Amino acid sequence: MNADKIDLSQEIFSRFGTVKRARKCFLYTAKGIRLTDLYQEGGGAILGWGGSVFTIFKNVLERGATGSYFTDFSSPCGREKSQLDRAVSALFGDERKAFTFSGKQAALEAAVSLSPESSSVWRPWNPVSVDWRSVNSIVFAPSLPWAGDIFILAVKKESLTSLQNGRAFANDDSGVVNSDFSFPNQIFLPAPLCASVTRSIHDLIKALQEREEKHWFIYDQIITRYWERKGPYLFPKIPEERYADFVLHCLDCNLVISPDYHQPSIVPFGADKGNFNLLKKTPFDF
């Protein structure tokens, strides 16, 4: 079986039934089997399933602020700085403006159109050492497992003063960008979703200060047989032509790993070595 033919949802369902609940790095299934999640929605659930983002979503939704108008959370095009702008500024350590897109490609195209020489994709605990304050346009996905295909473009304030298409932003003394400019394919996030995305960024800032190498290397004795670990990210040592079989073998060991050979799996923060016992007892031969 080719890895790109694996329907991970169907494979989980056929073995364990529906997923009834998800918490931290675990999926609880209808057949009473707890699965350890190393896929984590391709990184969307790297902070775990659940948490304060769901409470924030519920609270804002109950206010009824779900329309297409600007709120405290959604990103306005006027003078006032949104909470999302403040969150991305805190994440990268400088003043930035946040733009939201549906899809990575749309966000990247916007980034390159603005900063062709200084655009990059960011992910938490990136093993590559970069001073991100020097990058004008940064594209990243929020650590929010149910955010769909939302990507954020975080643009340095000063880089918004001159655009390739000839339009310019004016900055006042407060450092807030004043413009009704929007990128092609930019999307508007309803307040409950935007509030959750914003909270997920603050949660990520806290996690970046707390999670470190000591939380990941404890599994190395088991996982380095199959993966090369870089920070929390696991890159397969399995030959690509055998990877699909390995994905299914891991499911039989109650482990959910990335179904995409080129998308790394992630060390399950909050798990313990015992969650890998089945894989240890029934090793995959390659």
Share of the chain above pLDDT 70, in %: 88
What pLDDT is attached to residue 162?
56
Stretch 126-145: mean pLDDT, rounded?
89
Q: Contact 178/169 with Cβ under 8 angstroms?
A: yes
What pLDDT is attached to residue 71?
78
Q: Contact 207/186 with Cβ under 8 angstroms?
A: no
Residue 272 has pLDDT above 80, yes or no: yes
What pLDDT is attached to residue 70?
78
How many CA atoms are closer than 13 Å to the CA of 109, on its beta-carbon side? Answer: 10
Q: Contact 149/46 with Cβ under 8 angstroms?
A: no
For the chain, what is the mean pLDDT?
Answer: 88
The residues, ordered by sequence, that sit 6+ positions from 92 with a Cβ below 8 Å of its Cβ are: 132, 133, 138, 154
pLDDT in tens, 6-37: 899 999 999 999 999 999 999 999 999 999 99
d(CA 179, CA 232): 39
| Strand intervals (E) in 123-169 | 137-140, 150-156
Residue 78 has pLDDT above 50, yes or no: no
| Unique residue bearing structure tokens 């918490």 | 23
* Other C-beta atoms lying within 10 Å of the C-beta of residue 162: 11
pTM above 0.75, yes or no: yes
Stretch 225-250: mean pLDDT, rounded?
96
What pLDDT is attached to residue 169?
43
Of 39, 48, 18, the C-alpha closest to 207 is 48
pLDDT in tens, 161-170: 655 444 544 3
227 SS3 class = strand
Residue 260, classified by CB atoms within 10 Å of its CB into exposed (0-12), middle (13-18) or buried (19+), is middle
| pLDDT greater at residue 119 or residue 146 | 119
What pLDDT is attached to residue 128?
73
Q: Contact 50/22 with Cβ under 8 angstroms?
A: yes
Of 11, 68, 42, the C-alpha closest to 188 is 68
